[in-house]
Amino acid sequence: FTIESGSTLDLGNVNGHSFGSIPVCSGTLRIASSAYFPTGDWGNFLGTSGGTVEYYQTAAGTLTLPTTYTLPGGGTANITGYYNLNTSPYNASNIILPNSNLTIYNNLTVGYSYGGGTSNCITQINAGESSTTLEVKGNININQYGVLQYQNNLAEYAIADNDINIASGGALQVRNGGNSVA
């Protein structure tokens, strides 16, 4: 099974997929289910020369990124990084990054779900109870209507090894409410 460059496999919000071993490939895997990643050996796809994973929403609500996936032979693997990660929240909704350190080996792109409105499309860094580090080895791109948001109450770290690009109508902000942290 491969996801070739320029192609997209859109799983929508259907769960229960099992793909076996995934070779190095550079296409896009789209997921609209909270805390879900399909069964398979995704190490190459999520690694330093892999593909793009896009989490998106089709309706208002909260979508939380998973921290593990199931391996074909049983057991689990931790999701500690993505090659490229795109988030596309719905209008007035949140996509929440995991409560764990996360490395993006290329680019993080924050946007909005097409057809899902253009206001408060928030990708939130860690809504958990411990401080985390988000390191992006490429660029952080915040597209029009996309919002990358830090949470109050905890020290959070976002490191962009290259540039942070914020398009007109996009925002990098601190969540309103909670205790401020230096």
Give the whole-angstrom CA distance, residue 24 versus residue 61: 33
Question: Which amino acid is residue 101, in one-letter code?
Answer: N
Query: Could you report the per-residue pLDDT of 55-70, keeping only the tens digit for each?
Result: 999 999 999 999 999 9
- What's the pLDDT at 178? 64
Residue 181: half-sphere exposure toward Cβ, Cα within 13 Å:
13
Give the whole-angstrom CA distance, residue 142 versus residue 104: 15
**Whole-structure pTM value:** 0.94
Query: Could you report the per-residue pLDDT of 119-168, keeping only the tens digit for each?
Result: 889 999 976 778 889 999 999 999 999 999 987 777 788 899 999 999 99
Query: Could you report the per-residue pLDDT of 81-113, keeping only the tens digit for each?
Result: 999 999 999 988 999 999 899 999 999 999 988
